[in-house]
Amino acid sequence: MNLTKKHTEYIRWVNELKTLIQKTQIKASISVNKELLGLYWTIGKSISEKVNIANWGSSVVEELSKDLKAEFPNQKGFSRSNLFSMKKWFEFYSKAEMDLEKIQQLVGQIPWGHNVVITSKSKSIEEAVFYSNKTIENNWSRSVLIHQIELGLRNMKLIKLFRKR
């Protein structure tokens, strides 16, 4: 095999391996995100139950934050505000008349920051589901998502739908 052909074949081979590595990294990132969101869902549910059902009061979240940060000092996500976001996220969707498992699958496909934006800016579960689906379909960044919500994309789609009738 001559050197040029060998070099060309090598470059192609390296490019194939790079593509495979990148695809695997993306899959791993998606899998980690899904697991993390499952954890956040469970934590949010647990906090909600302790605060609302067991009447522990919201001050327990401050204490929980301190304890989790002490136990997992290198892991982000256990701030007081983030724990309250987990609680709010769980409570927002638990009011749904939709299957909670389907909601978990949907919201598990988008990053945590997107979920926080969607639940804090959406007026209804239907609106939140709409923006979650659009984020997945269009691979929106968080800033694009915020922009679409602020522009009222869902409302524009509904207006167009009613005008067609």
- Residue boundaries of the structural domains of the chain: 99-165
3 pLDDT above the threshold of 80: no
Q: What's the average model confidence in pLDDT over 55-75?
A: 94
Share of the chain above pLDDT 90, in %: 68
Q: What's the average model confidence in pLDDT over 95-101?
A: 83
pLDDT single digits (tens) 99-151 = 888 888 899 999 999 999 999 999 999 999 999 999 999 999 999 999 999 98
For the chain, the average pLDDT equals 90
Q: Which of 7-11, 69-73, 156-160 has the lowest mean pLDDT?
A: 156-160
DSSP-derived secondary structure letter, 49: I
161 pLDDT above the threshold of 60: no
pLDDT value at residue 160? 61
26 pLDDT above the threshold of 90: no
| Residue 85, both tokens | 């976001």
DSSP of 56-83: --THHHHHHHHHHHHH-TT----SHHHH
User: Which residues make Cβ contacts (< 8 Å) with residue 152, sequence separation at least 6?
Assistant: none
